[in-house]
Amino acid sequence: MKRAFNLYLQDILEAIERVEQYTQGMNLEEFSKSKITMDAVLRNLEIIGEAATQLLTDKKEKYNKVPWEDIQNFRIVAAHHYWKIDKVTIWDIIENQLNTLSQQIQEILEKEDKINKKS
């Protein structure tokens, strides 16, 4: 049985929060030197990608401003082609993409909650 849509979205938000906690106060140079932090961040980016993969297509189409395919593709690269990922790419995701994704996911959860309350 598939988990509820909102639970996968919560997984994404929790993974983003962890990445933010792990990298708080760091810059790219510090991040690059911390193998433990890089491993922890990469694991949570994989969780984000896997959660996105588990979402039903109709929901992803409904909320198509979220770059679902890019998120899923990153997870595939991280899990299966890990040697292709560089620190700058990961840092770019942390610095320039996770905050937007977090906002998008929160908005989706709010919209879905309102829809469910009306039902």
List the catalytic residues.
75
Closest CA to 88 of 25, 22, 29, 26: 29
Distance, in Å, from the CA atom of 115 to the CA atom of 119, rounded to the nearest integer, reads 6
Q: Tell me if residue 55 falls in helix, strand or coil.
A: coil
Q: Which amino acid is at 57?
A: T
Nearest to 28 by CA among 82, 78, 96, 83: 96
